Amino acid sequence: MSWNPFRRRAAQPPSEGTQDPASADVPATAPDTDYGEALAPTRGGLFGAIRQLFHDSRRLDAEFWEELEELLIASDVGAMTTARLTETLQRTVRDQGITDAGPAEDALKAQLVQQLVSSGDAALALPPDDLAVILVVGVNGVGKTTTIAKLATWLQHHTGRQCLLAAGDTFRAGAIDQLKIWGERTDCQVIAHQAGADPGAVVFDALAAARSRGADCVIVDTAGRLHTKVNLMAELGKVRRTISRQETGAPHETLLVLDAVTGQNAILQAKAFTETIGVTGVVLTKLDSTAKGGVVLAVSEELGVPVKFVGTGEHLHALAPFDPDRFVGALFQRD
Ligand code: GDP
């Protein structure tokens, strides 16, 4: 039997000493990050102030509600989501006869978990025994390429799937080169054409290569900036159609990568993508770099799309599947 690079095998640790922009200062073999550690800035920042408010408040008076609203908005939860959260909490408190801040905090935590769960299943919906296709979209700079590498690594480690990467951002030569570097580091084959080539053709070749070589998964990178938003959405739509024509039921996931640091701006970006190309899940990156973190709640509430993964650092293993219970627990955890 000939050697097949895509047969399931144990994940290889990324090679040591590779210098690329995303790995210069961080160990590529760091273990999976837990939420508690990754959310330390958020916990010490604005959510710390929310915890403190519950801790210090004797009564749930007008001043308490006003301050809670202000802190939620400042945490990037967004005005609309904040209004809905506080209204629901006030109703729960009234209905259950809660007068102390402690039980009110527990009610808020339960409400947050409920809201995050109701936006959809956080697990990836991939065909168990067939080729999975994941389309990854998002504007430049949000961490899209890094996320593709992290996702390939995560899939390899946790599901045994060997991924092939498709360099569908043909708009920037740098994006193709960057994906090739990540391909080497993650032991994934990369299908790429020249800069300026038709991304549909890249995807076509990548899917054909995956089938002929017996790959388990194709992760498709896409452009993050064309001259206008209309051009970008038209191109993404075309890539999507190429995939569905070639593989029935694909793409199985269309993941939108958003940068948590950009807060409400991320929500605006997300609306453009969700309205036009049918996003199935969000990967929220750089959660380790913001003291806010409330954008997770705004994403689920305002977009109605589940957060599926969170980026918790620059290294290859800094990607955690999103778990509403653990996430809310970590936000409210007292150090
Ligand atoms: P792209 O233009 O969207 O493909 O973005 P890149 O993947 O090139 O990432 C842009 C920058 O964000 C790089 O410096 C990455 O190392 C960094 N980055 C990506 N994800 C994370 C994350 O979860 N946490 C942190 N702190 N940095 C990240």
Residue 2: which residues within 8 A CB-CB, separation 6 or more?
none
What pLDDT shows up at residue 33? 53
Sheet strands side by side (includes 189-191): 189-191, 163-168, 217-222, 132-137, 253-259, 281-285, 307-311, 319-321
pLDDT tens sequence across 37-49: 778 887 777 888 9
Is the Cβ–Cβ distance between 316 and 185 less than 8 Å?
yes
**84: exposed, middle or buried (C-beta count within 10 Å: 0-12, 13-18, 19+)?**
middle
Residue type, 321: P
Q: What SS3 state is found at 115? A: helix
Nearest to 121 by CA among 277, 274, 322, 296: 322
Architecture of the domain made up of 132-323: 3-Layer(aba) Sandwich (3.40)
The three-class DSSP label of residue 163 is: strand
How many helices, marked H, and strands, marked E, lie in the chain?
13, 8
CA of 315 to the centre of ligand 1 (A): 10
**pLDDT for 16-72, tens place per residue?**
333 343 333 333 344 455 677 778 887 777 888 999 999 998 789 999 999 999 999
> Residue 324 class from Cβ within 10 Å (0-12 exposed, 13-18 middle, 19+ buried)?
buried
Does any ligand 1 atom lie closer than 6 A to the CB of residue 174? no
Pocket test for ligand 1, best of 20, 35, 39, 146 (most atoms within 8 A of CB): 146
Dump pLDDT digits (tens) for 100-147.
999 999 999 999 999 999 999 999 999 998 999 999 999 999 999 999
Determine which residue's CA is closest to atom 12 belonging to ligand 1: 143
For the chain, domain boundaries: 37-118, 132-323
Burial class (CB in 10 A: 0-12, 13-18, 19+), 159: middle
The verdict on the CB of residue 324 being under 6 Å from ligand 1 is no
Which atom, in ligand 1's list, is nearest to the CA of 178? 8
**CATH number for region 37-118:** 1.20.120.140
Is the CB of 179 inside a 6 Å radius of any atom of ligand 1? no
Longest dimension (CA), the chain: 74
CA distance 49 to 61: 17
Q: Rounded to whole angstroms, what are the CA distances from 250 to 136, 168, 257, 296? A: 13, 16, 19, 27
The residue contributing the CA closest to ligand 1 atom 15 is 22
Counting ligand 1 atoms within 8 A of each CB, the residue from 23, 151, 314, 319 with the most, and so the one to mutate, is: 314
Q: Which residue has the tokens 């629901």?
A: 88
- Closest C-alpha to ligand 1, atom 20: 143
Half-sphere exposure of 82 (CA within 13 A, CB side): 19
CB neighbours of 266 closer than 8 A, spacing ≥ 6? 142, 258, 259, 260, 284, 295, 299
Quick check: 263 pLDDT over 70? yes
